[in-house]
Amino acid sequence: MYNEDELRRMTPQQRLELRRALADIDSEALAIRTRDRRRAIILAVILVCCILLAAWTGVLATTLPRYYRSGGWRGAWVGFDIALLAAFAATGWASWRRRQILILCLVVLATLLCCDAWFDVVLDAHTKGFQESLLSALLIELPLAAAAILGARRLLRMTNAVMLRYRGMTGPVPRLRKIPLVGVEPGRPITDLLAKPQMHLPHVPGVDDTTATGTEVDSGRRLR
């Protein structure tokens, strides 16, 4: 620690640098506390949503009628099948063009297929079409959904393996649930995911961000 005599012997420039260093330390500590508070708020919101959803599910389970005649049946299913068709088309395009968005398309496609199987089986229960819906779910929708999920999982692990290799790391690829989020290192707020991709790239002194981004885009166009 500095005593008063040592502080007096410092030049004005040295005292200014000391004040700047102390201010940087204080601002860093404040930023860490802010990040911890944001993380706690996000976790609290997720927990509250889970509790409310569980309570609402219980209310629906006890109050909804077992059987109900619904209107707008054609619009509901035609609209859903159009969304499923769009998911198939987007997945095929992303696979053909070898785009990273294929992972997202596979997850969306698997989700829609599972929903299709669930509602077909549940809504056709106690009807003549139940067996057809059940066989369709077991032989078509659910196998396709499983294939989509396994494909997305494989692509995520492969992407992580390539990133680790570029960082000079070797060894087996960790399990999917143990792979950390890219761009959000420990101690940084989860809201950093909403930042622009350029914010997660290392800064190169002397290179303007706009110029660098434009160069990358032009390079990508030439590669295509």
Question: Which pLDDT value is given to residue 223?
Answer: 39
Q: Are 58 and 85 in the same domain?
A: no
Q: Flag whether 210 is in a domain.
A: no
What is the C-alpha to C-alpha distance for residues 143 and 139, in angstroms, rounded to an integer?
6
Q: For residue 28, is pLDDT > 70?
A: no
Question: pTM of the entire structure?
Answer: 0.66
User: How many domains are contained in the chain?
Assistant: 2
Q: Flag whether 1 is in a domain.
A: no
Residues in the chain: 224
Q: Flag whether 133 is in a domain.
A: yes
Q: Are 21 and 106 in the same domain?
A: no
What is the C-alpha to C-alpha distance for residues 127 and 134, in angstroms, rounded to an integer?
12
Question: Which pLDDT value is given to residue 12?
Answer: 73
Average pLDDT on 168-182 reads 73
Q: Are 25 and 79 in the same domain?
A: no
Q: Are 76 and 124 in the same domain?
A: yes
Q: Report which DSSP code applies to 172.
A: P
Q: Flag whether 197 is in a domain.
A: no
Q: Are 56 and 105 in the same domain?
A: no
Question: Which pLDDT value is given to residue 200?
Answer: 52
- Give the relative orientation of helices 102-123 and 73-97 as an angle to the nearest 10 degrees: 150
Question: Which pLDDT value is given to residue 70?
Answer: 74
Question: Which pLDDT value is given to residue 55?
Answer: 92
Q: For residue 201, is pLDDT > 60?
A: no
Q: How confident is the model at residue 183 (pLDDT cuts 50, 70, 90)?
A: low
Q: Flag whether 218 is in a domain.
A: no
User: Of 111, 108, 76, which Cα lies nearest the Cα of 92?
Assistant: 108
Q: Are 84 and 144 in the same domain?
A: yes
Q: Are 23 and 111 in the same domain?
A: no
Per the CB < 8 A criterion, the answer to whether 166 and 157 are in contact is no
Percent of residues, the chain, with pLDDT higher than 70: 66
Question: Which pLDDT value is given to residue 34?
Answer: 66
Taking residue 155's Cβ as centre, other Cβ atoms within 10 Å add up to: 14
Per-residue pLDDT tens over the stretch 30-80: 556 666 677 778 778 888 989 999 998 898 888 888 877 777 888 888 999
User: Of 144, 201, 152, 197, which Cα lies nearest the Cα of 179?
Assistant: 152
What is the C-alpha to C-alpha distance for residues 192 and 185, in angstroms, rounded to an integer?
10
Structural domain boundaries, residue 110: 72-185
Q: Are 82 and 135 in the same domain?
A: yes
Average pLDDT on 4-27 reads 68
Lowest mean pLDDT among 102-106, 114-118, 178-182, 206-210: 206-210
Q: How confident is the model at residue 112 (pLDDT cuts 50, 70, 90)?
A: very high
Lowest mean pLDDT among 32-36, 49-53, 83-87, 108-112: 32-36
Q: Are 49 and 110 in the same domain?
A: no
Q: Are 54 and 83 in the same domain?
A: no
Q: Flag whether 53 is in a domain.
A: yes
Q: Flag whether 92 is in a domain.
A: yes
Q: Are 97 and 136 in the same domain?
A: yes
Which of 40, 63, 86 delimits the end of a domain? 63
Q: Flag whether 144 is in a domain.
A: yes
Q: How confident is the model at residue 163 (pLDDT cuts 50, 70, 90)?
A: confident
